[in-house]
């Protein structure tokens, strides 16, 4: 390996490029062959030998290409590289958007204050709107079938009143009684005739016979359809594809398994809506 002596360090006539050119000639290589082996353009190899490193690029690229050229020719260029090729100077980063610490603290306080104001703006109206539901006392209820002692108004003492007006007394705290209509609703529901509801989850044959023996309906009902009959009108029902039919009486599902045979259900309907096996 050719060594660079101390006379070359100062950048005399035998610089890096001259040393590489002499080593290339001594090795019997031309510029094009060196460029092919180093995978460099020919003009880059020529610029390295001529010392025109400014046309190649930054110093860091020049140092790399010189080292590659030196390894090819087995030349030691490190002393010359340190003297003639400047090392890359790190770029000093200067912040142009520095924020003082006091300003950052004030910005954080401001953001938190805005958050508190927005939260209060949303939460306070909601609290005020719901507060009345918790403070109001619910009205007392009294069933109509249990009426407190009545107060008769408008009837003179000692004389019978032909049509006295009965007023239900209010609660001790002044809250008026609200009459409950639950017993009346239950009585009305009990008085209403039972209804037989049929919902078809699939195509099914339907035959409904009335109490007079006449056929009320006889047809193929399609999937998704439904039928409703008064229990007092129906005497018997036949369902084909019974597995796809849901039967309800007074809101309760009727189990058709006791009435099915080969997926055909036959059952009779009582006047109260109860279902029993067909005779």
Question: What is the domain class of 6-84 according to CATH?
Answer: mainly alpha
**pLDDT for res 19:** 86
CB 113 within 8 A of CB 124: no
Residue of 148, 184, 183 lying closest to 168 (CA atoms): 148
d(CA 114, CA 122): 13
Q: What CATH number is given for 191-277 in this structure?
A: 2.60.40
Tell me the per-residue pLDDT of 114-155, one tens digit each, with 9 for 90 and over.
989 899 899 888 888 887 655 656 555 555 555 455 444 444
Alpha helices by DSSP H, listed for the chain, are: 16-27, 31-38, 42-50, 59-73, 78-84, 101-135, 182-191
**pLDDT for res 3:** 40
Measured on CA atoms in the order 60, 65, 66, 70, is the torsion positive or negative? positive
How far is C-alpha 273 from the geometric centre of its chain's CA atoms? 48
**pLDDT for res 11:** 41
Tokens 């000639």 belong to: 25
CB 26 within 8 A of CB 76: no
Would you kindly state where each structural domain of the chain is located, as residue ranges? 6-84, 191-277
DSSP state of 176: P
**pLDDT for res 182:** 52
Residues of the chain with pLDDT under 70: 1-14, 82-98, 132-193
**pLDDT for res 15:** 76
pTM: 0.34
């Amino acid at each position: 390996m050719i060594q660079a002596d101390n006379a070359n360090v100062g950048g005399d006539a035998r610089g890096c490029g001259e040393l590489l050119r002499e080593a290339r000639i001594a090795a019997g290589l031309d510029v094009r062959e060196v460029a092919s082996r180093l995978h460099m353009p020919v003009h880059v190899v020529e610029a390295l030998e001529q010392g025109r490193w400014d046309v190649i690029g930054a110093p860091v690229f020049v140092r790399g290409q010189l080292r590659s050229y030196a390894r090819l020719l087995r030349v030691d260029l490190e002393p010359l590289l340190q003297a003639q090729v400047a090392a890359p100077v790190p770029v000093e980063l200067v912040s142009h958007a520095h924020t003082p610490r006091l300003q950052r603290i004030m910005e954080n306080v401001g953001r938190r204050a805005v958050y508190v104001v927005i939260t209060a703006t949303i939460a306070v109206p909601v609290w005020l709107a719901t507060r009345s539901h918790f403070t109001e006392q619910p009205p007392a209820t009294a069933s109509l079938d249990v009426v407190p002692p009545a107060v008769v108004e408008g009837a003179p003492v000692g004389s019978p009143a032909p049509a006295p007006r009965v007023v239900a007394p209010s609660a001790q705290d002044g809250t008026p009684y609200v009459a409950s209509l639950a017993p009346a609703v239950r009585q009305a529901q009990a008085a209403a005739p039972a209804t037989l509801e049929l919902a078809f989850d699939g195509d099914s044959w339907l035959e409904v016979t009335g109490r007079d023996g006449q056929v009320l309906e006889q047809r193929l009902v399609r999937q998704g359809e439904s039928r409703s009959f008064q229990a007092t009108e129906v005497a018997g029902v036949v369902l084909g594809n019974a597995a796809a039919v849901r039967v309800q009486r007074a809101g309760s599902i009727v189990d058709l398994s006791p009435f099915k045979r080969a997926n055909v259900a036959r059952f009779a309907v009582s006047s109260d809506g109860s279902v029993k096996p067909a005779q």
